[in-house]
Chain A
Amino acid sequence: MRLRPSWLALAGLGVAALVSLQPATAQSMINGFWSPLGNQDSYHYLAGPDPGDFSGLPLTDAALKIAQQYDADEFEMPELMCRPFMATYAPRAISTMRIWETTDSQTQDQIKIETTMAFSAPHRTIWMPASNHPYPSASEPHTWQGYSTGKWVGNVLWVHTDHLKPGFLQRSQGLPLDDKTTMDERIFRYGDILVDIMMISDPQYLSRPFIYSKLYAYIPQGNMDPYPCSVHNQVPTPEGYVPMRLPFYTTNYNEQFAAKGIPLEAARGGEQTMFPEYQDYLKTLPPNPPYEQLRADQQKQLDEQSAIAQGKTP
């Protein structure tokens, strides 16, 4: 029996019908522009939380020590002015997000999902299984957005991200994340609400995963302005000056923090502060000293640091 090429092609189609029944890849229900909802935790993500308010964060002692050396004036450093938000922070920011997908023109398989945010314009790529994109080697530089892979489980997009640059957990607080940080997300949509559950793990600076759910509302006619960041010397400082505080000093609480009434011990965070039983412990904590006293104590510490920096013994 001889098969002519045309029949061979037809037979090939039949085989293709068998092998093409692969798991779903093409879903577009999260594509589009999304506006962040500000009903939850937004005070942490506008200008940044108050200095020293770490309540509810599963920090290690190492993270606290680093945060205590932080000075928010570092934002004025030219080297850091245009630093983009990393993948572990950008979705939590109060900023419009755009999501789009790329599909293979022949198979219609979803190759990648990309996101960008209006503020600081971080551009992230989530590689889907059909991309067969190679995992970065250990010697490749870590990046602000890291390396993300995704898969659909029903209507939920599961994303895993690693290969990140060292960054920060929350803005303007100096809480560190190291380059072994990973993030797992579950992204899904109800009606016109998008939910991004972020689980951030860092064996160095977090004693358990930090879990955060960010909510967005769909924007039918979305738009996004460009973000042309450029460096300007807004606050004149000596060349080479790096704002920081010497180790082992208490945090520089401000008046806004004091007004919120969070007990100083609770503000140090730690995973014990995340669970309901901590409410009973809160009752036992002493009231905070008046802000005037806090400020006087902090000024004394600053004077001591200044004396040390000038080579004088306090």
Chain B
Amino acid sequence: MPTLTGRAWKYGHNVNTDVLFPGKYTYTARGREEIARHALEDLDPRFVQEVQPGDVIVAGRNFGCGSSREQAATCLVYNGVSAVIAESFGRIFYRNAINNGLLAIPCPPAAQAIQPGETVTVDLEHHLIRCAAGEFPFPPLSDTLRGIVEAGGLVAYIRGKVRSNE
């Protein structure tokens, strides 16, 4: 697995799905562009204007708490975000992220140490996050989750399964 490098966008605790992707768009927004446009709309309007492919979101506890809406994860993917590093994740967001190939990495020391705007490297082979404050190890994914990520997300993973059952 490769190494990801990007700039850090840093936010606080309990970043919820309503500020990641407002509920009022959830039944009508379709397609990558429209979904990408509303990312973090009520949290940080600068984000969609300035985000670069590969950028990393860094946050405190319980990132993505709230709704089950999957666009809270896909709106980040469609903006090119490569990973979210947080102290902890809301459980449905965590599943949605993995299921869409977005790395959600629980790593409290790194989440606390990383400063806004600095360059962060995620080494997926050695399970290490590198930033100005140093190197921080994070736990590897379980086999099931690695299978999903390596397949390129849940849909591709299940497609493989559906086919092998036929």
Partners in one complex: no
Residues of A within 8 A of B (CB): none
Binding site for A on B (CB under 8 A): none
